[in-house]
Chains A and B, each alone.
Chain A
Amino acid sequence: MTLLEVDHLSLDLPVDREPRRIIHDVTLELDDGEAVGLVGESGAGKSMTSRAVIRLLPQNARIGGDIVFDGRSVLAMDRRLLATYRSRDVAMIFQDPKSHINPVRTVGAFLIEALVERGDRRADALAVVSELLDTVGIREIPHRLRQYPHELSGGMLQRVMIAAALAVQPRLLLADEPTTALDVTTQANVMAHLDVQRRNRGLAMLFVTHDLELAASVCDRIAVMYAGCLVEVCAASSIHDRVLHPYTAGLLASRPRVTSRTARLPVIPGRPQAAYELGEGCPFLSRCPYALDICRTTRPELRVVGSSRVACHRAEELSGCLTDGRAADRPGVHA
């Protein structure tokens, strides 16, 4: 069952009173209990897309299209409905827990706030959050609840943030680069707790990250954004085998790997385009080695190719030609 529908979403933000396009026509659905990784480089519009889902946007933003959660339009909600939606249905986990947890209140006060707000008794709320802290691997809980955010490490605070998000029993988690500020070993631990809890509770998740491999390891599907456009949506398990968009292939190939060294890294030439710089044609036009005349004149729509969706005029032709550059790494495959 479809839980969230992002339907032809577009977004303009005024810069010097001129509206600038940030997101072009993004269409994406999330099923109940499904995890989708929204992947892209900085400025691709992935954070803005996730923020649009809870209408956490700058006041002067102009939104087009619609966002539908469980049959109701989020954009049409009035203040009261929106408050309920934000506090019960969705929960957000931010990149930097230090700047999203009130530094002058204790961890316990932060955790029970939402529960007390909706009418739970303090003692009940404390019991609920204590159990949650235990499930995300935190020990000495009574002591932790009395501590202030600055007394906890980054990895521990991020797990507190996850516990706070789970406390209200939402149906959708929005996680915006939740582990980017953490060390790799801490990242693995935090992601594992997030993944286990999400699966156990059957929550849907929109996971925003720049790290394709990390997204592929915890998500069911991957949606790749470039310059405010969605360019490819595919199953996480097939991202290495059946990559369809030249940009996704470039991203996978240009990342150095820990298992082997290449004489030269394959690169995507040029720099990432901003959404407002796009012309008529394909967003990836200026950096694409396969561009044809049609790519210059017509922007490709996201369409079904095989089991994926891709926005590329030449997807069928190129299917099988694009590689993630890792074929030689895999056992049993000889280049």
Chain B
Amino acid sequence: MPETAPPAVEVRNLVKVFHLRRARGARRRSVKSLVAVDHVSFSVGQGRSLAVVGESGSGKTTLARMVVGLERPTSGEIAVGGRERRSTRVGSRERRHRAREVQIVFQDPYSSLDPRQTVGRCIEEMLRLHFDADRAGRLTRVAELLDQVGLDERHAPAYPRALSGGQRQRVAIARALACEPRVLICDEAVASLDVSIQAQVLNLLSDIRDRIGVSYLFISHDLAVVRQVSDEILVMKNGRVVEHGPTDRVLDEPADTYTKLLLSAIPRPGWHPVAESDPQPVAT
């Protein structure tokens, strides 16, 4: 790859503020705001993998939703493949173009697939929207995609209810890959899978990266999973980045106290949980 190739995704000073309105009991319409993502910057090279880790409420999912276009940033810039994204309202042509660039796999494969659509139709719909192939061409591609995620043509006429959690997540991955995105965002994509299935899906994700050179933005709370799939780690806390660096460096020699805390809380051989009390209220 030439030096000049633009990063697959580049994010600069991204901010998202949510305004929370007090529902009842407020005399005036007092508005509280919550800074979910606070000046976050990073870039992911073509074929590279960046993991965003943090606990619930750290803003990692909001960050992913902004990159895929499900939330509009309050301020900051997102560029995909060197092309800047306007954060104003965009038309359907632009949205379709964006879908070709970034795709997302959600955590829960039980709610992210349409229960009344067969696996084959679900993937074919993506192909119909984004490519000019005829039906025969689309069906060939559906079979190819299913094969790529370790399913086969026999699964095409099946409804999601007939599939296990691991199989559903494979379908969600196949659907995301259907429009040949540069970037695949995995938002806790293996968190709800059983251990034996999780390993299969993690291996699958690394095979896909080797084969088609897609970049990953991996959103996860699980540092062991992150070690396995990412080249770089971004640790978030309360919307801010507290540590950012190569995976091995961050996990072997964490610099930030919060990263250390996260690492020390992971059960492993010889580990024992340590009790803490809630902080004492500060006397005023």
Contacts and interface: CB of A to CB of B under 8 A. Distances in A.
B90 interface: no
A4 B266 CA distance: 31
A188 B272 CA distance: 8
Interface residues of A, number: 46
Contacts of A42: 165, 194
B268 A254 contact: no
A240 B280 CA distance: 40
Interface in B233-262: 247-248, 251, 261-262
B195 A255 contact: yes
B227 A256 contact: yes
A264 B264 CA distance: 25
Interface bin, chain B? 35 or more
Contacts of A251: 195-196
A151 interface: no
A191 B272 CA distance: 9
A183 B197 CA distance: 22
Contacts of A218: 272-273
B257 to A, nearest CB: 12
Given A41-B194, A137-B278, A139-B281, A217 B263 contact: no
Contact of A256 (B55, B228, B248): B228
Nearest to B268: A213
A240 to B, nearest CB: 5
B194 A210 contact: yes
A225 to B, nearest CB: 13
Given A41-B196, A217-B271, A184 B266 contact: yes
B136 to A, nearest CB: 32
Interface in B21-64: 55-56
A137 B276 contact: yes
A189 B273 contact: yes
A184 to B, nearest CB: 4
Nearest to B277: A137
B269 A256 contact: no
A188 B273 contact: yes
Contacts of A271: 164, 166-167, 196-197
Contact of A156 (B165, B196, B197, B278): B278
Contacts of A255: 195, 198-199, 224
Contact of B269 (A189, A192, A326): A326
Given A156-B278, A256-B199, A268-B199, 7 more contacts: A139-B277, A140-B278, A192-B272, A196-B275, A255-B224, A261-B248, A267-B199
For the complex of A and B, list the 8 residue pairs with the smallest distance between their C-beta atoms, beginning with the closest. A192-B275, A254-B199, A192-B273, A213-B267, A137-B277, A41-B194, A183-B55, A256-B228
Interface of A: 41-42, 137-140, 156, 183-189, 191-193, 195-196, 210-211, 213-214, 216-218, 240, 250-251, 254-262, 264-268, 271-272, 326
Interface of B: 55-56, 164-167, 194-200, 202-203, 206, 221, 223-225, 227-228, 247-248, 251, 261-269, 271-281
10 contacts: A139-B280, A184-B265, A185-B55, A189-B274, A191-B273, A210-B194, A210-B195, A214-B267, A258-B266, A271-B197
